[in-house]
Structure 1
Amino acid sequence: MSEKQVSKSEKTPRKEITKRKVLNAAKELFIQKGVETVNMHQIAQTANVGQASLYRQYKKLSDICTDIVREECQVLIDETQNYLSNTNEKHSSLDKLYQVIIMFVAYLEPRLDWVCEVTRASTNYRPIQSPLYQWMRKVCTELLLEAVEKGEITKLDVPFTVEAILGTLNNIDEQLLHQGYSVDRILLGIKLLYIDGLLKNLD
Protein backbone atom coordinates (compact mmCIF):
# COMPACT_ATOMS: atom_id res chain seq x y z
CA MET A 1 0.00 0.00 0.00
CA SER A 2 1.42 3.39 -0.97
CA GLU A 3 1.70 6.26 1.49
CA LYS A 4 -1.05 8.12 -0.35
CA GLN A 5 -3.40 5.21 0.25
CA VAL A 6 -2.90 5.22 3.98
CA SER A 7 -5.90 6.86 5.59
CA LYS A 8 -5.54 9.84 7.85
CA SER A 9 -6.72 7.81 10.83
CA GLU A 10 -3.99 5.25 10.22
CA LYS A 11 -1.36 7.98 10.15
CA THR A 12 -2.58 9.65 13.34
CA PRO A 13 -1.71 7.84 16.59
CA ARG A 14 -4.74 6.57 18.48
CA LYS A 15 -3.72 8.58 21.54
CA GLU A 16 -3.86 11.80 19.54
CA ILE A 17 -7.26 10.90 18.06
CA THR A 18 -8.63 10.26 21.55
CA LYS A 19 -7.19 13.52 22.81
CA ARG A 20 -8.78 15.49 19.98
CA LYS A 21 -12.17 13.85 20.56
CA VAL A 22 -11.97 14.60 24.29
CA LEU A 23 -10.98 18.25 23.83
CA ASN A 24 -13.68 18.85 21.22
CA ALA A 25 -16.32 17.21 23.41
CA ALA A 26 -15.21 19.12 26.51
CA LYS A 27 -15.26 22.45 24.69
CA GLU A 28 -18.74 21.72 23.37
CA LEU A 29 -20.01 20.86 26.85
CA PHE A 30 -18.34 23.85 28.47
CA ILE A 31 -19.98 26.22 25.99
CA GLN A 32 -23.39 24.57 26.43
CA LYS A 33 -23.43 23.94 30.17
CA GLY A 34 -20.58 25.82 31.85
CA VAL A 35 -17.49 24.25 33.34
CA GLU A 36 -18.82 23.71 36.86
CA THR A 37 -21.68 21.46 35.70
CA VAL A 38 -19.53 19.19 33.51
CA ASN A 39 -17.79 16.05 34.76
CA MET A 40 -15.37 13.53 33.29
CA HIS A 41 -18.12 10.96 32.69
CA GLN A 42 -20.10 13.41 30.56
CA ILE A 43 -17.02 14.25 28.53
CA ALA A 44 -16.28 10.57 27.89
CA GLN A 45 -19.86 9.97 26.76
CA THR A 46 -19.92 12.99 24.46
CA ALA A 47 -16.52 12.11 23.00
CA ASN A 48 -17.60 8.48 22.57
CA VAL A 49 -14.49 7.19 24.32
CA GLY A 50 -14.19 4.77 27.21
CA GLN A 51 -13.61 5.97 30.75
CA ALA A 52 -10.29 4.13 30.85
CA SER A 53 -9.14 5.81 27.63
CA LEU A 54 -10.13 9.20 28.98
CA TYR A 55 -8.27 8.76 32.26
CA ARG A 56 -5.17 7.50 30.49
CA GLN A 57 -5.17 10.81 28.65
CA TYR A 58 -6.35 13.14 31.44
CA LYS A 59 -6.37 12.50 35.18
CA LYS A 60 -8.71 15.35 36.08
CA LEU A 61 -10.95 18.01 34.58
CA SER A 62 -8.45 20.81 35.18
CA ASP A 63 -5.94 19.01 32.90
CA ILE A 64 -8.47 19.10 30.07
CA CYS A 65 -9.12 22.78 30.73
CA THR A 66 -5.39 23.51 30.60
CA ASP A 67 -5.03 21.98 27.14
CA ILE A 68 -8.12 23.82 25.87
CA VAL A 69 -6.74 27.12 27.16
CA ARG A 70 -3.38 26.47 25.48
CA GLU A 71 -5.03 25.75 22.14
CA GLU A 72 -7.58 28.54 22.29
CA CYS A 73 -5.02 31.17 23.26
CA GLN A 74 -2.38 30.31 20.69
CA VAL A 75 -3.85 32.73 18.16
CA LEU A 76 -3.62 35.57 20.68
CA ILE A 77 -0.05 34.63 21.57
CA ASP A 78 1.00 34.49 17.92
CA GLU A 79 -0.65 37.83 17.09
CA THR A 80 0.92 39.50 20.13
CA GLN A 81 4.39 38.17 19.36
CA ASN A 82 4.02 39.36 15.77
CA TYR A 83 2.98 42.82 16.97
CA LEU A 84 5.90 43.12 19.39
CA SER A 85 8.39 41.87 16.81
CA ASN A 86 7.27 44.38 14.19
CA THR A 87 6.54 47.45 16.31
CA ASN A 88 8.40 50.63 15.42
CA GLU A 89 11.05 51.63 17.95
CA LYS A 90 9.34 55.01 18.28
CA HIS A 91 6.62 53.32 20.31
CA SER A 92 7.33 53.44 24.02
CA SER A 93 7.32 50.31 26.14
CA LEU A 94 4.18 51.57 27.89
CA ASP A 95 2.48 52.10 24.53
CA LYS A 96 3.31 48.51 23.63
CA LEU A 97 2.04 47.28 26.99
CA TYR A 98 -1.27 49.05 26.48
CA GLN A 99 -1.65 47.64 22.96
CA VAL A 100 -1.00 44.14 24.32
CA ILE A 101 -3.71 44.69 26.94
CA ILE A 102 -6.11 45.89 24.21
CA MET A 103 -5.37 42.74 22.18
CA PHE A 104 -5.91 40.59 25.28
CA VAL A 105 -9.30 42.16 26.00
CA ALA A 106 -10.33 41.99 22.34
CA TYR A 107 -9.51 38.29 22.34
CA LEU A 108 -11.51 37.55 25.49
CA GLU A 109 -14.59 39.68 24.79
CA PRO A 110 -16.33 37.33 22.29
CA ARG A 111 -15.42 34.31 24.43
CA LEU A 112 -16.47 35.61 27.83
CA ASP A 113 -19.26 33.09 28.26
CA TRP A 114 -16.82 30.19 28.58
CA VAL A 115 -13.08 30.93 28.14
CA CYS A 116 -12.74 32.88 31.39
CA GLU A 117 -14.38 30.05 33.33
CA VAL A 118 -12.25 27.40 31.63
CA THR A 119 -9.14 29.47 32.31
CA ARG A 120 -9.88 29.56 36.02
CA ALA A 121 -10.78 25.87 36.12
CA SER A 122 -7.49 24.96 34.44
CA THR A 123 -5.72 25.72 37.71
CA ASN A 124 -8.38 24.36 40.07
CA TYR A 125 -9.51 27.97 40.51
CA ARG A 126 -6.20 29.29 41.80
CA PRO A 127 -6.19 32.91 40.63
CA ILE A 128 -4.35 33.90 37.44
CA GLN A 129 -2.12 30.82 37.19
CA SER A 130 -3.45 29.37 33.92
CA PRO A 131 -1.20 29.11 30.83
CA LEU A 132 -2.90 32.24 29.44
CA TYR A 133 -2.05 34.34 32.49
CA GLN A 134 1.41 32.88 32.90
CA TRP A 135 2.15 34.00 29.36
CA MET A 136 0.58 37.42 29.94
CA ARG A 137 2.57 37.78 33.17
CA LYS A 138 5.80 37.21 31.24
CA VAL A 139 4.93 39.74 28.52
CA CYS A 140 3.83 42.44 30.96
CA THR A 141 6.91 41.92 33.13
CA GLU A 142 9.27 42.23 30.17
CA LEU A 143 7.60 45.42 28.92
CA LEU A 144 7.53 47.09 32.34
CA LEU A 145 11.19 46.22 33.00
CA GLU A 146 11.99 47.65 29.59
CA ALA A 147 10.11 50.83 30.47
CA VAL A 148 12.06 51.21 33.72
CA GLU A 149 15.36 50.60 31.94
CA LYS A 150 14.54 53.25 29.32
CA GLY A 151 13.57 55.75 31.99
CA GLU A 152 9.98 56.00 30.78
CA ILE A 153 8.60 55.51 34.27
CA THR A 154 9.68 55.98 37.84
CA LYS A 155 11.11 53.07 39.78
CA LEU A 156 8.34 50.71 40.80
CA ASP A 157 7.65 47.22 42.08
CA VAL A 158 7.30 45.50 38.71
CA PRO A 159 6.09 42.08 39.95
CA PHE A 160 3.39 43.66 42.13
CA THR A 161 2.28 46.00 39.35
CA VAL A 162 2.01 43.07 36.93
CA GLU A 163 -0.12 41.10 39.40
CA ALA A 164 -2.40 44.14 39.82
CA ILE A 165 -2.86 44.35 36.04
CA LEU A 166 -3.56 40.62 35.79
CA GLY A 167 -5.99 40.81 38.68
CA THR A 168 -7.98 43.44 36.81
CA LEU A 169 -7.96 41.44 33.59
CA ASN A 170 -8.95 38.24 35.39
CA ASN A 171 -12.26 39.83 36.37
CA ILE A 172 -13.15 41.20 32.96
CA ASP A 173 -16.08 38.82 32.51
CA GLU A 174 -17.54 40.02 35.81
CA GLN A 175 -17.06 43.63 34.77
CA LEU A 176 -18.63 43.19 31.33
CA LEU A 177 -21.36 40.66 32.01
CA HIS A 178 -22.50 41.55 35.52
CA GLN A 179 -21.37 45.09 36.34
CA GLY A 180 -22.38 46.45 32.95
CA TYR A 181 -19.06 48.12 32.13
CA SER A 182 -18.22 48.66 28.48
CA VAL A 183 -14.93 47.55 26.95
CA ASP A 184 -14.04 51.20 26.36
CA ARG A 185 -14.61 52.01 30.03
CA ILE A 186 -12.46 49.10 31.19
CA LEU A 187 -9.62 49.94 28.81
CA LEU A 188 -9.72 53.61 29.78
CA GLY A 189 -9.60 52.68 33.46
CA ILE A 190 -6.62 50.40 32.85
CA LYS A 191 -4.88 53.15 30.87
CA LEU A 192 -5.40 55.75 33.59
CA LEU A 193 -4.18 53.40 36.34
CA TYR A 194 -1.42 51.37 34.76
CA ILE A 195 -0.19 53.41 31.80
CA ASP A 196 -0.74 57.15 32.42
CA GLY A 197 -0.37 56.56 36.15
CA LEU A 198 3.12 55.16 35.66
CA LEU A 199 4.45 57.89 33.38
CA LYS A 200 7.51 59.56 34.76
CA ASN A 201 7.13 63.20 35.74
CA LEU A 202 9.82 64.92 33.71
CA ASP A 203 9.28 68.40 35.17
Structure 2
Amino acid sequence: MNKTLGAPQLSKDEIIRRRILESARMLFIEQGVESVNMHQIAKMAEVGQASLYRRYTEKGDICMDIVLEECQPLFDEVKEYLDQSAQIPILDRLYQVIIKFVTFTEAKVPWLCSVSRATPGYRPLQSPLYQSMRNTCRELLNEAVERGEVAEVDVFYTVEVLLAALHNIDFHIRDQGFSTKQILLGLHRIFIEGLKKQN
Protein backbone atom coordinates (compact mmCIF):
# COMPACT_ATOMS: atom_id res chain seq x y z
CA MET A 1 0.00 0.00 0.00
CA ASN A 2 1.32 3.45 -0.95
CA LYS A 3 1.98 5.94 1.79
CA THR A 4 -0.07 9.13 1.74
CA LEU A 5 1.68 11.75 -0.31
CA GLY A 6 2.67 14.87 1.56
CA ALA A 7 5.62 17.08 2.31
CA PRO A 8 8.95 15.30 1.96
CA GLN A 9 10.28 13.90 5.21
CA LEU A 10 13.13 15.81 6.80
CA SER A 11 16.50 14.15 7.09
CA LYS A 12 17.87 13.38 10.53
CA ASP A 13 20.46 16.12 10.09
CA GLU A 14 17.77 18.70 9.23
CA ILE A 15 15.65 17.64 12.22
CA ILE A 16 18.63 18.17 14.54
CA ARG A 17 19.44 21.52 12.91
CA ARG A 18 15.90 22.73 13.42
CA ARG A 19 15.90 21.59 17.05
CA ILE A 20 19.09 23.55 17.63
CA LEU A 21 17.73 26.70 16.01
CA GLU A 22 14.38 26.53 17.80
CA SER A 23 16.08 25.94 21.16
CA ALA A 24 18.48 28.83 20.57
CA ARG A 25 15.60 31.08 19.50
CA MET A 26 13.68 30.31 22.69
CA LEU A 27 16.72 30.88 24.90
CA PHE A 28 17.60 34.15 23.17
CA ILE A 29 14.06 35.45 23.68
CA GLU A 30 13.92 34.34 27.33
CA GLN A 31 17.42 35.27 28.47
CA GLY A 32 18.91 37.61 25.87
CA VAL A 33 21.48 36.64 23.28
CA GLU A 34 24.53 37.61 25.31
CA SER A 35 23.49 35.48 28.30
CA VAL A 36 23.15 32.22 26.34
CA ASN A 37 26.07 29.87 25.68
CA MET A 38 26.54 26.86 23.42
CA HIS A 39 26.21 24.40 26.32
CA GLN A 40 22.73 25.73 27.16
CA ILE A 41 21.66 25.47 23.52
CA ALA A 42 22.89 21.86 23.25
CA LYS A 43 21.14 20.92 26.49
CA MET A 44 17.78 22.41 25.49
CA ALA A 45 18.01 20.90 22.00
CA GLU A 46 18.92 17.54 23.56
CA VAL A 47 21.94 17.08 21.34
CA GLY A 48 25.51 16.34 22.30
CA GLN A 49 28.12 19.08 22.33
CA ALA A 50 30.04 17.31 19.55
CA SER A 51 26.87 17.13 17.44
CA LEU A 52 26.24 20.85 17.98
CA TYR A 53 29.80 21.89 17.12
CA ARG A 54 29.82 19.79 13.96
CA ARG A 55 27.03 22.03 12.67
CA TYR A 56 27.90 25.35 14.31
CA THR A 57 31.39 26.49 15.26
CA GLU A 58 30.12 29.30 17.47
CA LYS A 59 26.96 30.96 18.71
CA GLY A 60 27.23 33.63 16.04
CA ASP A 61 26.80 30.99 13.33
CA ILE A 62 23.53 29.92 14.93
CA CYS A 63 22.48 33.57 15.03
CA MET A 64 23.13 33.89 11.30
CA ASP A 65 20.84 30.96 10.48
CA ILE A 66 18.12 32.30 12.79
CA VAL A 67 18.27 35.74 11.14
CA LEU A 68 17.96 34.17 7.69
CA GLU A 69 14.93 32.11 8.75
CA GLU A 70 13.30 35.09 10.47
CA CYS A 71 13.79 37.32 7.43
CA GLN A 72 12.55 34.87 4.80
CA PRO A 73 8.84 35.76 5.29
CA LEU A 74 9.70 39.43 4.61
CA PHE A 75 11.66 38.50 1.47
CA ASP A 76 8.70 36.43 0.26
CA GLU A 77 6.17 39.17 1.07
CA VAL A 78 8.15 41.85 -0.77
CA LYS A 79 8.65 39.64 -3.82
CA GLU A 80 4.94 38.77 -3.96
CA TYR A 81 3.95 42.44 -3.61
CA LEU A 82 6.30 43.60 -6.37
CA ASP A 83 5.21 40.78 -8.68
CA GLN A 84 1.58 41.89 -8.29
CA SER A 85 2.00 45.69 -8.38
CA ALA A 86 3.73 46.46 -11.67
CA GLN A 87 0.97 48.97 -12.59
CA ILE A 88 1.55 51.13 -9.49
CA PRO A 89 3.91 54.16 -9.74
CA ILE A 90 7.43 53.07 -8.88
CA LEU A 91 8.00 55.45 -5.94
CA ASP A 92 4.71 54.30 -4.41
CA ARG A 93 5.95 50.72 -4.73
CA LEU A 94 9.23 51.72 -3.09
CA TYR A 95 7.34 53.30 -0.19
CA GLN A 96 5.30 50.12 0.32
CA VAL A 97 8.54 48.14 0.48
CA ILE A 98 9.85 50.59 3.09
CA ILE A 99 6.63 50.18 5.10
CA LYS A 100 6.98 46.40 5.02
CA PHE A 101 10.61 46.64 6.13
CA VAL A 102 9.87 49.02 9.03
CA THR A 103 6.82 47.01 10.16
CA PHE A 104 8.81 43.78 10.07
CA THR A 105 11.73 45.29 11.99
CA GLU A 106 9.46 46.85 14.62
CA ALA A 107 7.77 43.49 15.22
CA LYS A 108 11.16 41.89 15.85
CA VAL A 109 12.56 44.61 18.14
CA PRO A 110 14.64 44.21 20.15
CA TRP A 111 15.59 40.57 20.00
CA LEU A 112 16.22 40.10 16.28
CA CYS A 113 18.49 43.15 16.27
CA SER A 114 20.44 41.61 19.16
CA VAL A 115 20.70 38.30 17.33
CA SER A 116 21.90 40.06 14.18
CA ARG A 117 24.61 41.88 16.12
CA ALA A 118 25.90 38.54 17.45
CA THR A 119 26.58 37.15 13.97
CA PRO A 120 30.22 36.65 12.89
CA GLY A 121 31.91 39.79 11.56
CA TYR A 122 28.70 41.75 12.13
CA ARG A 123 28.39 44.54 9.58
CA PRO A 124 24.76 45.68 9.75
CA LEU A 125 24.41 47.05 6.26
CA GLN A 126 25.97 43.90 4.76
CA SER A 127 23.59 41.46 6.45
CA PRO A 128 21.19 39.39 4.29
CA LEU A 129 18.29 41.61 5.41
CA TYR A 130 19.96 44.81 4.22
CA GLN A 131 21.47 43.23 1.11
CA SER A 132 17.97 42.20 0.03
CA MET A 133 16.63 45.70 0.77
CA ARG A 134 19.59 47.27 -1.06
CA ASN A 135 19.01 45.21 -4.21
CA THR A 136 15.26 45.85 -4.21
CA CYS A 137 15.58 49.61 -3.71
CA ARG A 138 18.27 49.92 -6.38
CA GLU A 139 16.14 48.04 -8.90
CA LEU A 140 13.09 50.22 -8.19
CA LEU A 141 15.00 53.51 -8.32
CA ASN A 142 16.85 52.54 -11.50
CA GLU A 143 13.49 51.74 -13.07
CA ALA A 144 12.10 55.09 -11.88
CA VAL A 145 15.06 56.90 -13.46
CA GLU A 146 14.60 55.05 -16.76
CA ARG A 147 10.92 55.99 -16.84
CA GLY A 148 11.59 59.62 -15.92
CA GLU A 149 9.56 59.39 -12.68
CA VAL A 150 12.32 60.87 -10.51
CA ALA A 151 14.64 63.82 -10.76
CA GLU A 152 18.26 63.09 -11.67
CA VAL A 153 19.64 61.13 -8.74
CA ASP A 154 22.65 59.06 -7.73
CA VAL A 155 20.82 55.78 -7.16
CA PHE A 156 23.65 53.98 -5.36
CA TYR A 157 24.28 56.78 -2.87
CA THR A 158 20.58 57.44 -2.29
CA VAL A 159 19.95 53.79 -1.43
CA GLU A 160 22.89 53.74 1.00
CA VAL A 161 21.51 56.84 2.76
CA LEU A 162 18.09 55.16 2.97
CA LEU A 163 19.62 52.01 4.47
CA ALA A 164 21.55 54.11 6.98
CA ALA A 165 18.26 55.72 8.04
CA LEU A 166 16.63 52.31 8.41
CA HIS A 167 19.40 50.42 10.15
CA ASN A 168 18.82 51.76 13.68
CA ILE A 169 15.02 51.40 13.69
CA ASP A 170 15.14 49.62 17.07
CA PHE A 171 17.12 52.54 18.57
CA HIS A 172 14.73 55.15 17.12
CA ILE A 173 11.64 53.31 18.39
CA ARG A 174 12.83 52.01 21.75
CA ASP A 175 15.40 54.54 22.95
CA GLN A 176 14.41 57.78 21.20
CA GLY A 177 10.67 57.23 21.43
CA PHE A 178 9.82 57.87 17.78
CA SER A 179 6.57 56.27 16.67
CA THR A 180 6.37 54.11 13.56
CA LYS A 181 4.11 56.77 12.04
CA GLN A 182 6.73 59.49 12.61
CA ILE A 183 9.45 57.35 11.06
CA LEU A 184 7.40 56.44 8.00
CA LEU A 185 6.20 60.01 7.42
CA GLY A 186 9.78 61.25 7.62
CA LEU A 187 11.04 58.60 5.22
CA HIS A 188 8.19 59.43 2.83
CA ARG A 189 9.01 63.15 2.81
CA ILE A 190 12.71 62.57 2.20
CA PHE A 191 12.86 59.52 -0.05
CA ILE A 192 9.52 59.59 -1.88
CA GLU A 193 8.35 63.20 -2.14
CA GLY A 194 11.95 64.42 -2.26
CA LEU A 195 12.77 62.25 -5.29
CA LYS A 196 9.65 62.93 -7.36
CA LYS A 197 10.26 64.78 -10.57
CA GLN A 198 8.64 68.20 -10.34
CA ASN A 199 6.59 69.35 -13.33
Provide the rounded CA distance (Å) in 2 between the counterparts of 1:62 and 1:3: 43
Q: Measure how far apart 1:170 and its partner are.
A: 1.2
Q: Does the 8 A contact of 1:66 with 1:130 survive in 2?
A: no
Aligned with 1:98 (options 95, 99, 104): 95
Query: Does the Cα contact within 8 Å between 1:80 and 1:103 map onto a contact in 2?
Result: yes
Q: Give yes or no for the alignment of 1:17 onto 2:6.
A: no
1:164 aligns with 2:170: no
Give the residue type in structure 1 aligned to 2:74.
Answer: L
* Equivalent position of 2:141 in the other structure: 144
Q: Distance in 1 between matches of 2:114 and 2:2?
A: 43
CA distance in 2, matches of 1:12, 1:152: 48
**Aligned residue pairs: how many?**
196
Supply the RMSD in Å over aligned alpha carbons.
1.9
What is the match of residue 183 of structure 1? Answer: 180
CA distance in structure 1 between the aligned counterparts of 2:124 and 2:70, rounded to whole angstroms: 19
Find the residue that maps to 1:104 and give its secondary structure. helix
Structure 2, unaligned stretches of length 5 or more? none
Equivalent position of 1:64 in the other structure: 62
Deviations 1:161-190 (A, max 9, x none): 111111121100001111000000000111
Q: Please, which of 45, 52, 72 is the counterpart of residue 74 of structure 1? A: 72
Match of residue 84 from structure 2: 86
Q: Residue 75 and residue 177 in structure 1: after superposition, are their counterparts in 2 closer, same or farther (change >3 A)?
A: same
Whether the aligned pair in 2 keeps the contact of 1:69 and 1:115 (CA below 8 Å) is: yes
Aligned to 1:36: 34
1:129 to 117, 126, 131: 126
% same residue: 52
Q: Is the 8 A contact 2:124 2:130 kept in 1?
A: no
Confirm or deny: 8 A CA contact 1:119 1:132 kept in the other structure: no
Counterpart check, 1:114 vs 2:111: yes
Asked if the contact 1:141–1:159 (Cα under 8 Å) also holds between the matched residues in 2, the reply is yes
Deviates more, 1:119-128 or 1:173-182: 119-128
Quick one: which amino acid aligns to residue 91 of structure 2? L
Amino acid paired to 1:85? D
Checking the alignment, whether the CA contact within 8 Å between 2:33 and 2:115 is kept in structure 1 is yes
Report SS of the residue matched to 1:59.
Answer: coil
Q: Is the partner of 2:129 in helix, strand or coil?
A: helix
Report the Cα distance in structure 2 between the residues aligned to 1:84 and 1:122, rounded to whole angstroms: 29
Correspondence for 2:43:
45
Which runs of 5 or more residues in structure 1 are unaligned?
A: none
1:119, CA displacement in angstroms? 2.4
**What is the CA-CA distance between 1:41 and the residue it aligns to?**
2.1
Paired letter, 2:13? K
Q: Distance in 2 between matches of 1:124 and 1:29?
A: 22
Aligned mates of 2:156, 2:36 — CA distance in 1: 35
